[in-house]
Amino acid sequence: MIGPKPGLQAHSIPVLAPSFGAALCKAPDSWLAPAAVSCPTSVTFKNSECSPSTVDSDEDAPEIKVYLGSTEKKYTLVLDIDNTLVYATPHRTDKTSAATARSYLVTVRPYINLFLEHVAPLYEIVLLSAGTDKYSELIRRQLDPSGKCIVRALGRSSCVAGAPGEYVKDLRVFADRKISHMLIVDDREESYALQRHNGVPVAPFLGAEDDEELVYLTEYLEDIYGDENLVEANRAKLSLTKAR
């Protein structure tokens, strides 16, 4: 059973806009309360184009091939964004509702710096979100301002269309990577249904400041690293049934 390593502490990261604090994790009515020291970092995105949830159900995802270029890393780790690395909620005022809000408050999952510090030397890290491409890039800049850990940030233009308004993450879009050398982390198993043996499920992040899922994920990825058949090792460890 994996668990927190002794001495690991949550880290904060730089923000796009002033932090609005830990109250997001406790009560929606207190979103604008002063920041608490132990709170996960929060940022606001004021441009509706950066919304993680703006989806045109009439638009088919384009057929696309993504080329990541050369790398010294053997394995590629594809990370979902919303409810996996961050928690985004509509930022309401007295005059707006969740349905009409045009900005989002984004809370970063605790231990993100620790996760990147330990995992980036082992895996090539790519963000892949069903949100807009611009939103994905904004998140990347906040999680990894130096650009040393996350090589690319991709949005729904790199996903494939599923049911109306839904997008699926198909690892076959990565034209210059072997699927057998890839893992995808997501809180929604249906997101990687096309390659479920490559999937590493995580509990959804809903803003809790005591969340430790990234500690567990860090240990799992360190443990599985080095297996010649990464996907088979992942299948075995997660007790997934082999496809017939």
Position 11 in a domain: no
Q: Rounded to whole angstroms, how far apart are CA atoms 54 and 50?
A: 8
Q: Which range of residues forms the domain containing residue 64?
A: 56-86+109-237
Report if residue 149 sits inside a domain. yes
Residue 196 has pLDDT above 60, yes or no: yes
**Tokens standing for residue 80:** 């979902």
3-state helix, strand, coil in the chain (%, to 5): 30, 20, 55
pLDDT of residue 3: 41
The answer as to whether 98 is a domain residue is: no
Q: Give the chain's count of helices (H) and strands (E).
A: 4, 10
Query: What domain count does the chain have?
Result: 1
Q: Is the pLDDT of residue 143 over 90?
A: yes
Residue 184: name the closest of 130, 146, 145, 113 by CA.
Answer: 130
Q: Please give the residue that has the higher pLDDT: either 97 or 49.
A: 97
174 in a structural domain: yes
228 or 192: whose pLDDT is higher?
192
* 23: in domain: no
- Domain assignment of residue 30, yes or no: no
Is the distance from CB of 116 to CB of 144 less than 8 angstroms?
yes
Residue 109 token pair: 């999952």
CATH assignment at residue 66: 3.40.50.1000
Kindly state whether residue 2 falls inside one of the protein's structural domains. Answer: no
Identify the pLDDT of residue 50. 45
pLDDT tens per residue, range 41-92: 555 544 433 444 433 333 433 377 899 999 999 999 999 999 999 998 876 6
- What is the rounded average pLDDT for all residues in the chain? 74
**C-alpha radius of gyration, the chain, whole number:** 18
Q: What per-residue confidence (pLDDT) applies to 90?
A: 76
